[in-house]
Amino acid sequence: MSTKSGLVVTAHPGDFVWRAGGAIALHAKKGYRMKIACLSYGERGESQFAWKKAGVSMEEVKAGRRAEAEAAAKLLGAEIEFFDAGDYPLRPTEAILDRLIDIYREEKPSFVLTHALEDPYNFDHPVAAHLAQEARIVAQSAGHKPDPTRAYSAPPVFLFEPHQPEQCNFKPNTILNIDEVWEVKRQAFEILAAQKHLWEYYTRVALNRGVQGGRNTGKPMTYGEAYQRLFPQALEELA
C-alpha cells in the first residue's frame, strides 16, 4: 500500500465534488490516502433547497449537508474533516489555521488541491485558497510547535476549476485524465441532490476538458479535470 497522500482544502462540500472529485477518486484508487478539509457545511449559500422547508433550523441544515458531504467523500475514497468556519461569509479563525497546519504536518501530502485565487462570484473561495496556502507555509516554520525531528516539505499546489473560469482569471496548465474514475465522480454528483441543475453542467465541463487534454497531447482523453499548478515544477527530463 502506498503511503502517499493528497490534501483537498475546500470552502463548501459541493466544491470538492464538482471541481476535484476526479482527482480524489483517481488518487484514492492508486492507493493515496486522500484527506478533505471541508471548511464550511455550505449551510447558507449552497442549501437553497433545504431552506424551503418551513421552520428548518440552521443545525438541521448543517446536519443535512454534513451527511451529504460524508457520503460523497466516502464514495470518492477520502476521509473528510469539517471545520464549521461559517458560510457566506467564511471566516476562518486562528484555531482553524492551527488545525490545518497540523494536518499538513500529519499528512505530509504529495499535493494540495484548493480554490482559484480570485472569484468575484464567491468570496469564500479565495478565502479558502488563502488559508490553504498560509497553513502550507506556516507548516514549514521550525518555530511553530518546534520539533527538530520533524521532516516536512511544502507540497505543490493545484487550483481546481471555478464555476466561471475566465471571470476568476483561472488559467489551467494541467489537465488530469479522470477517465478511469468518471463513473464514481458522476455518482458523487448525484449525492448532491439539491444541486441537480449542476450535474449536467459539470459533466459537460469534464467532457470539454477531456477534449482539450487530448488536443494538447495527442493522447486520447474523454473526461478531464483542469488545474492551475501554482509553483514551478522541478524536472529531470522535459518529455
Question: Residues 16, 170, 189, 223: which binds its own copies (CB under 8 A)?
Answer: 170
Q: Give the per-residue contact string, 97-116, with its own copies (x = CB under 8 A; - = no).
A: x------------xx-x---
Under rule CB under 8 A, which residues in 5-24 are in contact with its own copies? 6, 23
Angstrom distance (rounded) from CA 114 to CA 15: 9
Angstrom distance (rounded) from CA 133 to CA 126: 10
Angstrom distance (rounded) from CA 12 to CA 156: 22
Angstrom distance (rounded) from CA 218 to CA 200: 26
Stretch that binds its own copies, among 8-16, 41-49, 70-78, 181-189 (CB under 8 A): 41-49
167 counts as binding its own copies under rule CB under 8 A:
yes
Stretch that binds its own copies, among 67-75, 76-84, 153-161, 183-191 (CB under 8 A): 153-161
Stretch that binds its own copies, among 10-18, 66-74, 157-165, 182-190 (CB under 8 A): 157-165
Under rule CB under 8 A, which residues in 172-211 are in contact with its own copies? 172-177, 197, 200-201, 204-205, 207-208, 211
Q: For residues 206 and 182, is the Cβ–Cβ distance under 8 A?
A: yes
Question: Cell digits for 134?
Answer: 498560509
The count of chain residues that interact with its own copies, using the rule CB under 8 A, is 90
Question: Cell digits for 238?
Answer: 522535459
224 counts as binding its own copies under rule CB under 8 A:
yes
155 counts as binding its own copies under rule CB under 8 A:
yes
Q: For residues 105 and 155, is the Cβ–Cβ distance under 8 A?
A: no
**DSSP helix/strand/coil, 201:** helix
